[in-house]
Amino acid sequence: MPNSMRYCQTCRFELSKRGFKRHTLSVVHRKGKLIRAMLERDCITHAEIARRIGLTRERVRQLAQVMGFATGRSRHAICRMERRRKEMAEFFVQAQKRGFAVELLGKKSAYINGKLCIQRQACWHDVGRSEYKYTCLSIRRPSVKFDICAWKLPDGRFLILPKQLTGFTQTTFNPEESDRLGTNSSSHYYRDYVERWSLLGRPRRSK
Ligand SMILES: [Zn+2]
């Protein structure tokens, strides 16, 4: 650091020795921590930061640059990505963790390996006889187009079925080890399809 420069610990950037005194009295310095905290949030715009602390947007942009933050545009891209990731249905988050490339179409639908996948929720179904009351789950056939549907089970696992196996409007199945596979009118082997990720094909990278 040249002798004529001083480094401000609060704002984490250097300025000329001459400008330092004036800097310590400035809004930027006094609100340095606040500005930094705001800049660290990708989903706030420079304009909004400017409005909150009474600086111009251009000044915030300059500060962000000096403080080493990404430009407004890339912050916005990060923000959009983050927001989509947060909104993404759990099935797609899990798929990504398993190495699948997920092309989101909406919160609950995405292409994975060229297959149209959707997520739905399975609910406990009261079968009527108390000893089985807690072992049957109810699923409904989605009314939208899909190739694969993943129903989220209450324990966090997924029942993953290809469209060919969804010839029902609503049905029940038993996710637990038991002789009873479902209700009398609808017994099937869906338990074999719990966590059947192989239906999605091969992940892009193996884990
Ligand atoms: Zn400072």
Q: Which whole number is the average pLDDT over 175-200? A: 72
Q: What is the CA angle 182-143-88, rounded to 5?
A: 90
CA of 17 to the centre of ligand 1 (A): 12
Instruction: Give the C-alpha distances (Å, rounded to integers) separating 2 from 5, 11, 28, 47, 62.
Output: 6, 18, 23, 34, 22
CA of 76 to the centre of ligand 1 (A): 26
Alpha-carbon dihedral of residues 104, 108, 111, 112, nearest 10 degrees? Answer: 100
User: Residue 145's pLDDT is what?
Assistant: 95
Distance CA 196, CA 95 (A): 11
> Over the chain, what is the mean pLDDT?
84
pLDDT at 75 over 90: no
Give me the residues paired with residue 183 across strands: 186
Q: Are 76 and 47 in contact (CB under 8 A)?
A: no
CA of 39 to the centre of ligand 1 (A): 15
CA of 15 to the centre of ligand 1 (A): 9
Ion ligand 1: residues, CB < 5 A: 8, 10-11, 29, 32
CA of 7 to the centre of ligand 1 (A): 8
pLDDT tens string 111-169: 999 999 999 999 887 766 555 555 678 899 999 999 999 999 988 999 999 999 998 89
pTM here is: 0.59
pLDDT at 93 over 70: yes
